[in-house]
Structure formats: structure tokens, C-alpha cells
Amino acid sequence: MLVNGKWTEDWQPVQAKDEKGGFVRQVSSFRNWVTPDGSAGPTGEGGFKAEPDRYHLYVAYICPWASRTLIGRKLKGLEEVISVSVVEPVLTKQGWRFGDYPGATQDHVNGTTYMHEIYTRAAPEFTGRATVPVLWDKQAQTIVNNESADILRMLNSGFGNLAKHSIDLYPAERRVEIDAFNDRIYPALNNGVYRAGFATTQIAYEEAFADVFSCLDWVEPQVEGRPFLFADHPTESDIRLFVTLVRFDAAYHGIFKCNLRRLSDYANLRAFCRRMLDWPGIAETVNLDHIKRGYYSVESLNPTKIVPAGPDFSEIF
Ligand SMILES: N[C@@H](CCC(=O)N[C@@H](CS)C(=O)NCC(=O)O)C(=O)O
């Protein structure tokens, strides 16, 4: 991680932990919003007006949080407005790196090699982990926001008419339910799999494991008999659910020890995943090779870094 703008090699692959050995995710630190007129959003400061070719997304295909933003960009038809760079799947001793691993890219905007250089360009004294996703402002040469929940929401409405598609990912009449659903699945499922995978005590692991599967059991009947959770098209909640489900059998079931059941054991969730993958643009945001290679290269969890050959995805999706 960065300490006062300097990269420290003494990096912690498990972020932080609490007194019970539970995984604690770092709080995001850049919280400004792109808005149609440049006024301030719900957090942070103003000055980030929606304009074509002004903003850039830094992402990793392995990362579910970054994938939220990639899906939002596709669903809103913002591909020509917001450019993208993709890091390599394996987290190096200097964090995320740009390069020529198939599917990854160079950093065409800033010409950096490592993601942490983007953080120090924005904040030379930055202390913290250099996480993805990052929404970068090419004009102001700074990070607008590095919190995927914010970025997904601002992609929905912040770019106004620049978005080619009018699909509403956060419809006003369903916001209470969407917020409640998001709040329930974040700790138990989206972050729950990480809490299981990076737990350093049996008790912390077992608590997380129980949360993951009780949450999946709770969601399974909710995706039966309707195409998506809260509309006839995907909303934020579908995106936030999908990014965890699509990684489940490839990574979380094995490396994170979430092995009570597989996604493929949940008939409705599996069919839901298929519907999401069939929605135009979504399948292009999923790179199962990056997902498997990335998670299985976390040395503290898999010292040999051998990537499993299975599962057979044609049987799952
Ligand atoms: N709160 C952030 C979390 C992002 C995050 O934890 N990203 C991980 C990848 S899945 C990361 O970049 N980790 C690098 C590190 O911890 O050094 C969000 O949702 O945007």
C-alpha cells in the first residue's frame, strides 16, 4: 500500500482485520461526483461536469467492484464517452499493474505501470491501498471517485444525455427496495465471500460462511418467475448480485472456501445469471480467465499459485 505517497513493499494481501480475525475492507477516499452541470453530488465537491472524452475508468476484470462500473458503462451506452484501462489479473508486489496479459491493457491515459501511480498523481501524499475501480478526470488530472457504489450510481444519471441508453438503473419508485436489497447483500454476500476467504480465525470464517449461504438461500426464490429483481431490466441490485454470482463457482467456492453449495446448485440464481449474461454488453465485462487467475494467485491463500482447470463453465452458464 501507499504510505504518505510512497509505495511500501510490506503489503498486506488481506487488507485489515478486526480483533476476531475478520476481514475489514478499506473505506474509499475519493468521493466526488460527475453531474450533468458540474454541481456537487451527494458527497465531495463540484467541478466534475459530464463531458465527452473527459473521464476514464481504471478497472480489473477480476474485481467484482470494478465490474459493477463496467456493466453500468455498457448498460448506459457510455462506451464512447468514458474510456477504460484494464490491469493484469495478478496483484504484484507493487499492486495492480498494466501490461500485455491477454485482456489487460496499457495505461493509455497516464502512461503509468502501476495503479498506485494514479493515486499519487491525484494525491502525492496518499496513504492507503491503490484499489480499483477508479474514475479519473483527464482534464483536472485527478481521481473523481474510487467507490464503485458511487460510480455505478453516477453512471446512471450523472452523464445526462451523453448516455445512449435511457435504461434506469435506480428507478425512483423502487429505490427503497433497491437500497434495502443492496444493504442486505453487501455485508452477507458481496463482501461476505471476502470475509470467508480472508478470515484468519475459524470463528470469523464460519460466521462469514453462514452469512454467504443464508443470503443465497434468501435471494434464490426472489429471482424466480421474473426476469430481474425490481424491473423488467437490470437495476443496480441485479448488477451488484450478478458480479458476485458470476465469480462464485470459478473462485469463491474454491479459493474462498465457500463450498456448501455451488451457484449451479441454485436453479433460479443460475438462470438469473444466464439472463444477465444475455443482456447486451454484459458478457463482454466478464473475463473468467482473469477471475480464476487473479483469485488463485493470492499467495497467502494459494502459495503454489496453481489455477484449477475446472469448472466446466459451459455446464454452469
Ligand atoms: N470500496 C471499493 C473496494 C474496491 C476494492 O477493494 N478493490 C480491490 C480489488 S477487488 C483492490 O483493488 N484491491 C487492491 C488492494 O487491496 O491492494 C469499491 O467498491 O470500489
Instruction: Tell me the mean pLDDT in the region 291-304.
Output: 96
User: What is the rounded average pLDDT for all residues in the chain?
Assistant: 96
Taking phi first (over 0 means left), then psi (-120 to 50 degrees means alpha), and beta for anything else, what does residue 4 get? Answer: left
Say what the pLDDT of residue 11 is. Answer: 57
Interatomic CA distance for residues 159 and 154, integer angstroms: 7
The residues of the chain that CATH labels 1.20.1050.10 are 172-279
Q: Whose CA is nearest to atom 10 of ligand 1?
A: 63
| Percent of the residues in the chain that have a pLDDT greater than 90, as a whole number | 92
CA of 173 to the centre of ligand 1 (A): 31
Provide the pLDDT confidence category of residue 185 given band limits of 50, 70 and 90.
Answer: very high
The residues of the chain that CATH labels 3.40.30.10 are 2-162
Say what the pLDDT of residue 203 is. Answer: 98
Does residue 63 have a pLDDT over 90?
A: yes
CA of 147 to the centre of ligand 1 (A): 9
- The number of beta carbons lying within 10 Å of the beta carbon of residue 208 is 25
- The larger pLDDT score, comparing residue 176 to residue 315, is at 176
The CATH class given to the 172-279 domain equals mainly alpha
Does residue 124 have a pLDDT over 90?
A: yes
| Percent of the residues in the chain that have a pLDDT greater than 70, as a whole number | 98
Q: May I ask the CATH architecture of the domain 2-162? A: 3-Layer(aba) Sandwich (3.40)
Does residue 14 have a pLDDT over 70?
A: no
Instruction: Tell me the mean pLDDT in the region 210-234.
Output: 97
Provide the pLDDT confidence category of residue 9 given band limits of 50, 70 and 90.
Answer: confident
Instruction: Tell me the mean pLDDT in the region 144-160.
Output: 98
Interatomic CA distance for residues 231 and 210, integer angstroms: 29
Does residue 18 have a pLDDT over 90?
A: no
Instruction: Tell whether ligand 1 has an atom less than 6 A from the beta carbon of residue 150.
Output: no
- The larger pLDDT score, comparing residue 29 to residue 218, is at 218
Residues 6+ apart with CB under 8 A from 116: 2, 7, 94, 95, 96, 130
Does residue 12 have a pLDDT over 80?
A: no
Which of the residues are catalytic? 63, 194
Instruction: Tell me the mean pLDDT in the region 94-114.
Output: 98
Q: Which ligand 1 atom is the nearest neighbour of the CA of 129?
A: 17
